[in-house]
Amino acid sequence: MTLLNRGRLLTIVGLVLLGAVYVRALAFTPTEASQGLAQKIFYIHVPAAVWAETSMILIGIASAFFLFLKDPRLDRFAEASAQVGTVFAAVVLTTGPIWGKPIWGTWWTWDARLTLTLLLFFIYVGYLVLRGAITEPGLRARYSAVLGICGLVLVPFIHFSVLLFRTLHPQPVILKPSAPSLPAVMLTTWLFSFCVFTLLYIGFVTQTYALLLRREAGPPAHG
Amino acid sequence: MAETIPQNGGYMVAAYIVAAVILVGYALSLYRRSR
């Protein structure tokens, strides 16, 4: 099975399981009393946010290693991860305001967590624009590696922004030093959703990586 | 008196649809690029 087909298979399984996450979240997970049904946005918003940030961490690590090793696979992985990270950041930045409106009474506020997440999205977009603007492969890989490392530096500030600044955004309920502060049934649904988003990340990155590899190899010869 | 649960299911439905559209849309774009 080719790399592209493996990625495609993982993506299809991930999308089917995303449907199962929706069913479990809606039908088999209790509704939180103070926030109502809007709280169930948590099951897609938070896993997408974790992978939007993790994707940038992986880009930064791959970029740092690329600057030393000059291995094109690292650069190719970073580009694939940037495309997928942009998609997950878009999910975060759309589902977040939809959750915020009924709970906070506003779609958006310029507090630290929200603003830094928007900045992360702009770094992703800037990274992809930079790659599209430079035609020389070596120069493109070096410049984008530097931007990838800058993105990596941003991620801890996003995660700890709710602790460092006064913000409307809730404190972490899962990724924190103490045990998750969620009922077991809600935690199980969240973990299921997180596994599905992980599968989607791997499937998307594998497909994107295979397509980048094909693009570098050039068009297939005919005749 | 029991506290009433807020009626905001429409927001949840909207968020779930938006997330699905983005993720399925990206999967379809990859499929198109691979052809």
Environment class of residue B32 by beta-carbon count within 10 Å: exposed (0-12), middle (13-18) or buried (19+)? exposed
CA distance A72 to A181: 43
The pLDDT-based confidence of B4 (bands split at 50, 70, 90) is confident
The pLDDT-based confidence of B14 (bands split at 50, 70, 90) is very high
Q: A41 vs chain B: nearest CA distance in angstroms? A: 6
Lowest mean pLDDT among A5-9, A57-61, A173-177, B7-11: A173-177
Please compute, for residue A14, the number of CA atoms within 13 A of its CA located in the half-sphere on the CB side: 24
| Mean pLDDT, residues B18-32 | 97
Domain boundaries, chain A: 3-29+38-215
ipTM of the complex: 0.93
| Predicted pLDDT of residue B9 | 93
Please give the structure tokens belonging to residue B35: 């052809």
| Mean pLDDT, residues A29-57 | 95
Residues 6+ apart with CB under 8 A from B17: none
| Predicted pLDDT of residue A171 | 78
**Chain A residues with CB-CB distance to B1 below 8 A:** none
Q: Decide yes or no: CATH 1.20.120 for domain A3-29+38-215.
A: yes
Chain A contact for B8 (CB, 8 A cutoff): yes
Lowest mean pLDDT among A55-69, A207-221, B3-17: A207-221
| Predicted pLDDT of residue A177 | 74
Q: Please answer yes or no on whether A22 and B16 come within 8 Å at the CB atom.
A: yes
Backbone angles phi, psi at A36, to 5 degrees: 75, -155
pTM score over 0.90: yes
Please give the structure tokens belonging to residue A32: 């939180």
CA distance A146 to A136: 16
